[in-house]
Amino acid sequence: MEPNENIELILEDAKERMGKSFDGMHTSLLQVRSGRATPSLVEDIRIEAYGDVMPLNQLANISIPEARLILVDPFDKSQIQNIEKGIQKSGRNLNPQSDGSIIRIPLPDMSEETRREMVKLARTKVEDSKIAIRNIRRDANEDLKKLKSEGVSEDAIREGTDEVQKLTDSFIKKMDDSMAAKEKEIMSV
C-alpha cells in the first residue's frame, strides 16, 4: 500500500468516527426538553412488554397534536399499563394519563430554573461529544506518527496531522452551532 493511501485511510476513519460522534450528540440533544413537545422526548424510553424490554416507538405510535402534548397510541391496548409505568419510571418527570386506549403526556410550562437546567444538561451532552472528537483526533495523530517507521515523510505526516486538526475544528464548530441553536430553543418562551 502506498504511504499516502495510509494517510487517506486514517483521515477517512477519523472523519467517519467524528461524524458518528456528531450524529450521536445531535440525537441526544433532541431528547433534551425545550418548550415544545417532540416525539424524541419519549421514543427511546425502555418499556417492559412481552417478557422483553423495548423502546416505546416499537410499541406505539407517538404524535404531537399540540405544542405541549404528546400522544401515545399503543399498537396493543393490553400494553397500556406497562407503557404508562415505563414512562413514569423513565426519570424524565413525565406524568402520563391514560383513558384506556390512548396515553396523553401533557408537558407543563418550563420555569426559568428548569430551562437553565435543560441548557446545562444539553451543554454536558455536547461537551461529552467534544471529548469524544478530541479522543478521535488523538488516535488519528498517533496512527499518523506510526507511519514514520514505514518510511512516510515528515512533511506528509505533518500535512495529515493538519488535516485531522481541520476536521476536528469543523466538527467542534458544528457542535457549538447546534448547542447555540438548542439553547435558543430552550430559553425562548
pTM of the entire predicted model: 0.78
> Tell me, what CATH number does 162's domain have?
1.10.132.20
At 21 the pLDDT is: 95
Q: Which of 73, 106, 139 is the last residue of a domain?
A: 106
Same domain, 71 and 129: no
Domain finish residue from 85, 106, 127: 106
Same domain, 98 and 115: no
| CB-count exposure of residue 160 (10 Å: 0-12, 13-18, 19+) | buried
pLDDT for residue 1: 52
The string of pLDDT tens digits covering residues 84-135 is 999 988 877 788 999 889 999 998 888 888 888 889 989 999 999 999 999 9
Helix axes 154-187, 112-146, angle to 10 degrees: 170
For residue 89, the domain's CATH number is 3.30.1360.40
Q: According to the model, what pLDDT value does residue 112 have?
A: 87
Residue numbers of the chain with a pLDDT score lower than 50: none
- At residue 180, the pLDDT reads 94
Residue 26 and residue 9 share a domain: yes
State the pLDDT at residue 70. Answer: 92
Domain that holds residue 98: 39-106
Q: What is the pLDDT of residue 3?
A: 60
Residues 181 and 91 in one domain: no
